[in-house]
Structure 1
Amino acid sequence: MSLRGCRQSAGPTGMSSSRLIHMSRCGSATASSWPDRVRWSPISHSERIRLDSWGVHRVSETKTGPYAWFNEAKFGMFVHWGLYSLLGIGEQVLLRGRLKPSEYRRLAERFTAPNYDAHEWARMARDAGMRYVVLTSKHHDGYCLFDSPGWELCAPRTAPGRDLVAEYVEGCRAAGMPVGIYYSLQDWSFPVMFDGPDADPGELQRLVRKIHDDVRALCSNYGKIDLMWFDGRWPLHDLWRPVEIDDIIRELQPECMITGDRLHGAPAQFPDSPFARNERPGYIASSERRIVASTVPVPWEVCEINQHRWWGYVKHDHHYKTATELIYLLAEALGQGANLLLNFGPMGDGAFPQRAREQLEGLGRFTERNAEAIYGCTGANGLFEYLTFGDMTMRDETLYLWVKYWQGESFHFAGLANEIRGVRVLGRHDIEVTIERGGDHIWLRGLPELPPDPDITILAVDCDGEPRATEWGRYRLHGGDYDMRVWREWVRS
């Protein structure tokens, strides 16, 4: 799915989610009757932010307390690393390549991780502007990087001879980074995963017991864990007994955040889950490779990859995204009110590929210049039209325009109701911007012909209060309230 502006998800009828919300409030419509039957008083701006954009509403719930770090962080590193990294064909090669599991498991004899330096990983993440890390402690193949109770296929009992998660936690703490642990519920070491749950109830119970024991170990052996990140809920769903897993985490790590949608399932499919009812604190939602907020009003993130397709290392995938492409992903996620959890796949020996290091260096230069528009900000794409220039974030009385499409010496936009106290070009103290206003239109003058930042130039617009839209500003063709009548005067101008 392409990552574009408003990210409305399509509903069962093919209409966007905001359109479905509007119709559910106004009654059904047909092609011949909809202008008469649709109520022309649209969804309010504040309600639209809660339903579609989520950013301002969600962040306000977690600005203080044990979960505040997540909304402050905004940018994290995801790391997929395991036996599959030795083969360099992605993290799912065991199944997708139809490899013999008995032969695949022998990779554990070669997985010595001689160049694994968790302190360096954490430093690279921090220097790139990332503020938390999530590591795959176990992927679907069943190999554990930690000391899995009673399980032979784990790092301490195979070639590494040590607990790789323990080193990871130590590296994160040394860099001052919150610790996230990914854990896949699926385990392809157990045939019952493929035979079906009724084929061998005893083996199913052994699998579920192992998972619960693993979660208990991960929450007991490494000190404070800040985020438990789950995957692989399908196809057994509630047979994993996710509420019990949730209980284990809260018993042992009461301030740990949990990817509620990935543990308990989509709210539409599992409406009675604790996540769907949002009845426990500390949940986040995570959208995989698309910017779509959960229907549950919790903080959220978008997880994306630095290469073309796979999360684990791919030796011959030369389509590494450029630093600019990754910065675009960051802008789009933050503009919609989400964090960006950006994935990297180290090689089998534990070292990061050179291309990945270059990506991280490029990200670091950008985030250092533009930190003010990133950390602790809320998404502002729901405020007024933004697609013609890029994306928007905001903090207090400042609106940040992430300008992808530079306009030259004069920059025009419309839809902001506030008086403007001043405009700054982040990272450039030598540029003096003047402001010209004509009705609803705003022109920023005195800018250079070429963009000051070759990736994205951020203009900090200091307002006379919290940024707010004009009466018509919230209406647009895509991504906001929809009422064609607001353009009746404009179309005749």
Structure 2
Amino acid sequence: MTEQAEWSEATMPDQRGISRRSMLAAAGTIAGAGLLGIAAPAAQAAPRAATPWYPSAKFGIFIHWGVYSAPAWGDAKHAAEWYLYAMNVTDPARGLGTREHHLKTYGADFDYDRFIPRFTARRYDPRAWVRLFEQAGARYFVLTSKHHDGFQLFPNPASDRHSVHFGPQRDLVGELFSAARDSHLRRGVYYSLGEFYSPALGTPPRNPYTGAEIPYTGYRPVSDYVTQYEHVHLKTLIDRYDPDVLWADGQGYHEFGGGPIFRPKVWDWRSEEILDYYYRNAANRPVPKSVVANDRFEYAHPDFATVEGDNKTYVLRPDPWEACLNIGKSWGYNENEDPANIKSSARLLQLLVEVVSKNGNMLLNIGPREDGTIADWMSSRLLDMGRWLRINGSAIYDSSPWQRAMDGDVCYTTTRDAFHLIPLRWPGAKLTVPGDVPIDGRARIRLLGGHSGPLAWTRTADGVVVDLPSQRTDDFSEEFPAVLRVSTR
């Protein structure tokens, strides 16, 4: 992932155009609101979705795993997966922590590519990963097939810089996709279009301390980066693994104190060509399948917009979008992670509820260790989310937004047969919501996970007041969201 603020939201246009594969979403925004005697506004009457599955999925797992998982170190300015670039930064204002750490720990002659043999995947158990993702309540995953350091986790004819030839000597993408084949999970791959340093982009890697040009392990010279390298990689991913999601990154020109990266200033990824190939591959088969691509391919009609990080003010959008965010600061595994940056399970669920109420999906990242194990502080949070979703998932999956996403700390979602009030924290003995919330005389309000019958409610001058139990009955602390289901039955 890209770690700079200006490289995520600020450079990304607000994509609201209709994809050429768009169709009306079948989710029940109107059904849920109409059941309770209220008409949804025209703007929400026909939310657009690129495919039937994606806007209903709501929750996916992002996986950042690669050579950077071996040094596993980030500083206050740079996340761990940016280790290769951060060790080349010479501008103190941009942060020298990684550069100084590398020199002290490994020495000036230890090039980044010497970490490749240390990326072993020796305890990688893709079936265990799939079980964890299922237990977390995820509906899809996206694995980094190539991050900005150019190391590929899959074999291909364009390069030997990959995990079958070096390091683990395993097809890491293929193993995870195979393990997930019989699961309910949709499968996706992340691919960095550009790279930090590449001879083919005019930016060969150099020793950060001497400036001497150094070999790019496994690189095969090409004269046309896009045709002979990038598009070959992407076609290999499409043909070999048949992904449901293509997730691009690393598409822009940038200079963050360690030299220009990703691409020259004037550049064309020719993404329409590769995405036409992707969509045709999905359509031209006996049983066509639904696939999506994000907005970082720099093409005309993305299937969903990407909002990176949780430091944004999320807004209700009419078209599909995705909040990709992290449990901590780094996307790759970071032994130097500041505990203060690690979000609690309750906070992650609050973010999930807010994103879903605003018509988005959450793609929550984990960063496995170099050996393929997942830290307990990551897996425990995923399991907490799954435990909450098993009780409250009917308000999340297959839901649509109401005309407003939230009032204060209370979010709203609709489904075919219900409207949901979701306070982000336990509100106490009473919950008051505005009077225009679709609750009429026929409404019955139940607390999901509760052991009591319908809750008493009254309409007052202040709005609708719902009487709640004296304490939670769903085994979650008061910091976790709660779900009140409003229906006529």
Please tell me whether residue 94 in structure 1 is matched to residue 115 in structure 2: no
Task: Show the counterpart of 2:483.
Answer: 458
After alignment, is 339-348 or 371-380 more displaced? Answer: 371-380
Please tell me whether residue 105 in structure 1 is matched to residue 88 in structure 2: no
Cα gap change, 1:101/1:302 in structure 2, threshold over 3 Å: closer, same or farther?
A: farther
Please tell me whether residue 399 in structure 1 is matched to residue 407 in structure 2: no
Is contact 1:418-1:463 (8 Å) kept? no
Matches within 5 A, 1:307-386: 307=328, 309-317=329-337, 318=339, 319-380=341-402, 382-383=403-404, 386=406
After alignment, is 133-142 or 417-426 more displaced? Answer: 417-426
After alignment, is 226-235 or 310-319 more displaced? Answer: 310-319
Q: Distance in 2 between matches of 1:101 and 1:207?
A: 32
Please tell me whether residue 155 in structure 1 is matched to residue 155 in structure 2: no
* TM-fit CA distance, 1:375: 0.8
Q: Distance in 1 between matches of 2:109 and 2:398?
A: 45
Please tell me whether residue 250 in structure 1 is matched to residue 276 in structure 2: no
SS at match of 2:115: helix
Q: Distance in 2 between matches of 1:243 and 1:95?
A: 29
Task: Show the counterpart of 1:263.
Answer: 297
Please tell me whether residue 445 in structure 1 is matched to residue 464 in structure 2: no
Task: Show the counterpart of 1:46.
Answer: 41
Q: Which has the higher contact order (CA 8 A, sep 6+)?
A: 2
Q: Distance in 1 between matches of 2:443 and 2:316?
A: 36
* TM-fit CA distance, 1:160: 1.5
Is contact 1:141-1:189 (8 Å) kept? yes
SS at match of 2:239: coil
Task: Show the counterpart of 1:205.
Answer: 224
* TM-fit CA distance, 1:153: 1.0
SS at match of 1:84: helix
The one of 305, 309, 316 equivalent to 2:326 is 305
Q: Distance in 1 between matches of 2:133 and 2:169?
A: 26
Is contact 2:316-2:359 (8 Å) kept? no
SS at match of 1:173: coil
Task: Show the counterpart of 2:300.
Answer: 274
| Residue-pair matches, total | 390
The one of 244, 253, 278 equivalent to 1:226 is 244
Is contact 2:306-2:321 (8 Å) kept? yes
Q: Distance in 2 between matches of 1:370 and 1:353?
A: 26
Q: Distance in 1 between matches of 2:125 and 2:398?
A: 29
Task: Show the counterpart of 1:126.
Answer: 134
Is contact 2:156-2:236 (8 Å) kept? yes
Q: Distance in 1 between matches of 2:387 and 2:109?
A: 43
Cα gap change, 1:291/1:212 in structure 2, threshold over 3 Å: closer, same or farther?
A: farther
The one of 186, 189, 207 equivalent to 1:181 is 189
Q: Distance in 1 between matches of 2:316 and 2:387?
A: 32
Greater helix share, 1 or 2? Answer: 1
1:178 counterpart letter in structure 2? R
Q: Distance in 2 between matches of 1:189 and 1:141?
A: 7
Task: Show the counterpart of 1:74.
Answer: 58
Is contact 1:140-1:187 (8 Å) kept? yes
Deviations 1:402-436, CA, capped at 9 Å, x for gaps: 11243322221122244142001001132541121
SS at match of 2:355: helix
Q: Distance in 2 between matches of 1:341 and 1:57?
A: 24
* TM-fit CA distance, 1:171: 1.7
Cα gap change, 1:82/1:400 in structure 2, threshold over 3 Å: closer, same or farther?
A: same
Is contact 2:316-2:358 (8 Å) kept? no
Q: Share of identical aligned residues, percent?
A: 28
Please tell me whether residue 217 in structure 1 is matched to residue 236 in structure 2: yes
Task: Show the counterpart of 2:47.
Answer: 58
SS at match of 1:303: strand
Cα gap change, 1:351/1:10 in structure 2, threshold over 3 Å: closer, same or farther?
A: closer
1:402 counterpart letter in structure 2? I
SS at match of 2:412: strand
Is contact 1:284-1:298 (8 Å) kept? yes
SS at match of 2:304: strand
Q: Distance in 1 between matches of 2:439 and 2:385?
A: 32
SS at match of 1:87: coil
After alignment, is 254-263 or 331-340 more displaced? Answer: 254-263
The one of 430, 443, 449 equivalent to 1:421 is 443
Cα gap change, 1:298/1:149 in structure 2, threshold over 3 Å: closer, same or farther?
A: farther
SS at match of 1:379: coil
5+ residue gaps in structure 1? 1-8, 12-16, 18-43, 51-55, 197-201, 265-272, 465-493
2:292 counterpart letter in structure 1? I
* TM-fit CA distance, 1:213: 0.3
Is contact 1:230-1:262 (8 Å) kept? yes
SS at match of 1:363: helix
Q: Distance in 2 between matches of 1:405 and 1:324?
A: 9
Is contact 1:257-1:284 (8 Å) kept? no
SS at match of 2:324: strand
1:300 counterpart letter in structure 2? W
5+ residue gaps in structure 2? 1-8, 15-38, 74-79, 89-98, 100-107, 205-220, 254-262, 284-288
SS at match of 2:55: helix
Cα gap change, 1:208/1:350 in structure 2, threshold over 3 Å: closer, same or farther?
A: same
Deviations 1:329-365, CA, capped at 9 Å, x for gaps: 1011101010100000001111001111111121111
Task: Show the counterpart of 1:136.
Answer: 144
Is contact 1:225-1:253 (8 Å) kept? no
SS at match of 2:407: coil
Task: Show the counterpart of 2:6.
Answer: none
2:411 counterpart letter in structure 1? D
Give the TM-score normalised by the residue count of structure 1. Answer: 0.72
Is contact 1:291-1:333 (8 Å) kept? no
Is contact 1:133-1:172 (8 Å) kept? no
